[in-house]
Amino acid sequence: MTKKKYDQCLEVSQDNTKYLELSIKRSKGLLPHMEVAKAFSKLLKNDIKKNTVMLDVGCLSGHFLKTFREKNNRDFFYQGLDPFSLHINAAKNVWKHDKKSNFKVGWAQKIPFNKKKFDVAICSNVFTHIPNILNPIKELIRVTKKKIIIRTPIHNRSYRIQMVFNNKWWKYTSVKPENEFDKKGNPRSFEYYDVHSKDYFSSVIKKYHKRAKISFVKDVFFSKKMINNPKERKNIPTKVINNMQVTDLMIVPNYFVIIKL
């Protein structure tokens, strides 16, 4: 049986040491900064100050912190959040000497912090994997004072996309190829790769914060050379084709959704 929480399959990340290893290497400076982390660093240039308190939802081992400490402010406070203790334990180990960071297990759907605890909250490459974004948006708005930046695929239409796993190519599932879909035709072990329409995404933000100022900034920050870097073998690598980021056979139209509260 595939275990799920909030309709997300746990076997995507729960034991995914390969993806975590890349993040640890980045956190330790053994691999280059991620292109997206550099983009966040630029977008937050004026927001990360000495006394800033930041939340990073879906933090893996805290590789964004490495980028911010080097390119932004050395002293701001960083709180990492991730549902998987595999990730959080690794983060705690990597950052054990960093006095101004903390890591906690928790889900975007139910953020384990009090209201308005953070000046800034970021969430990168997570919303696409969450089938119901209502609570994550509500929760981010609840815990943040000033600004939220979410990086996720946005288009003028929404798409519900599921990548379906089997144990021939995905070692973290026990589902055999012949059992990929159940009797009703639903996938057993999967990860969402949803694309949200600008209109829907904005409407959800407005539902929870009428006066929020929203801007959609297309991710054109990446360098093709770095994304195609063969040294960084991911389970499912992203390539740049015709200036578009492509994961396996999916075009990923990434945007930064900037929400000023």
Ligand X SMILES: C[S@@+](CC[C@H](N)C(=O)[O-])C[C@H]1O[C@@H](n2cnc3c(N)ncnc32)[C@H](O)[C@@H]1O
Residue 48 CB, shortest distance to ligand X, in Å, is 16
- Measured from the CB atom, is 176 or 223 closer to ligand X? 223
Residue 102 CB, shortest distance to ligand X, in Å, is 16
- Measured from the CB atom, is 126 or 205 closer to ligand X? 126
Calculate helix-pair angle for 35-43, 63-71, nearest 10 degrees. 50
Residue 59 CB, shortest distance to ligand X, in Å, is 6
Residue 128 CB, shortest distance to ligand X, in Å, is 8
- Measured from the CB atom, is 82 or 219 closer to ligand X? 82
154 bridge partner residues: 196
Residue 215 CB, shortest distance to ligand X, in Å, is 20
DSSP strands (E only) in the chain: 4-5, 8-9, 53-57, 77-82, 101-105, 118-124, 144-155, 162-164, 190-192, 196-197, 213-218, 238-241, 244-247, 250-251, 254-260
Tokens of 30: 């053994």
- Measured from the CB atom, is 91 or 205 closer to ligand X? 91
Pairwise CA distance, residues 133 & 151, whole Å: 13
- Measured from the CB atom, is 102 or 179 closer to ligand X? 102
Q: List contacts with ligand X (CB under 6 A).
A: 8, 13, 34, 36, 57-58, 60, 82-84, 87, 107-109, 124-126, 129-130
Residue 14 CB, shortest distance to ligand X, in Å, is 8
Are residues 79 and 121 in contact, defined by beta-carbon separation less than 8 angstroms?
A: no
- Measured from the CB atom, is 129 or 147 closer to ligand X? 129
Residue nearest to ligand X (CB): 58
Backbone angles phi, psi at 177, to 5 degrees: -50, -40
Calculate helix-pair angle for 17-27, 85-94, nearest 10 degrees. 20
Q: How many CA atoms lie within 13 A of 31 on its CB side?
A: 21
